[in-house]
Amino acid sequence: MNPMNESTQPAPMKTNPVRTVREGDHNLAGWSVNLLGALLLALGASSPAAGLPPLSHSLTATAAKTPAPALNLRDLDGQPHDLAALKGKVVLVNFWATWCPPCRREMPSMERLAQKLRGDNFVVLAVDVGEDADTVHAFSSRMETPPSFPILLDPHGRTMQAWGVAGLPTTYLIDRQGRIVAGAIGGREFDHPEIERAVRDLLKRD
């Protein structure tokens, strides 16, 4: 079975519940979001909750492979990252936030996938929306294995808006030509064999 099920349009799939971002709600850097994130972390919300259903492991292929929008952001250390400079590599772009439960649940599996495919022209870019570096550092420091891939900051949600992201987490898979070939809304188990196979299939293509 093809791990990326063909779809006539890049419509959202049936996924775990996600937080919907309303129009005009892209400036998420206010004190209320940071306060919520701090409270969740203080309560230990960074750990997976018991009794939750398993994360999905499917991606939906896009019928029309459109070029990915621009993505040029700085990471937690202030270093710039430009998606356009990554042509020739397969890139997984994930929009997330520390206050988002499925985002926190899927992060460890994203790191496991990155480690499995290390050195194989595969790049993970995790775009945190509406938070500052201190908030993200506080979250990552509580993880058993902190992410080795770049965490980029989109403090005002402008990149999220340009990509048409409607909820968090949202993930896009970009091929070597810089085109969006698959996507998902909601939490994913990224190191599941189906997703890993989809990435490896892209890596084999020119």
Positions annotated as catalytic residues are 100, 103
Instruction: Read off the tokens for 157.
Output: 């949600």
Q: How close are the terminal C-alpha atoms of the chain, in Å?
A: 22
Residues 6+ away with beta carbon under 8 Å from 190:
92, 106, 109, 110, 112, 113, 196
| Length of the chain in terms of residues written | 206
Distance between CA atoms of residues 18 and 183, nearest Å: 15
Q: Are 102 and 16 in contact (CB under 8 A)?
A: yes
DSSP assignment of 8-77 equals SS-PPPS-S--EE--TT-----SHHHHHHHHHHHHTTTTSPPTTPPPPB--EEE-SS-PBPPP-EEEBTT
- DSSP for 74-120? EBTTS-EEEGGGGTTSEEEEEEE-TT-HHHHHHHHHHHHHHHHTTTS
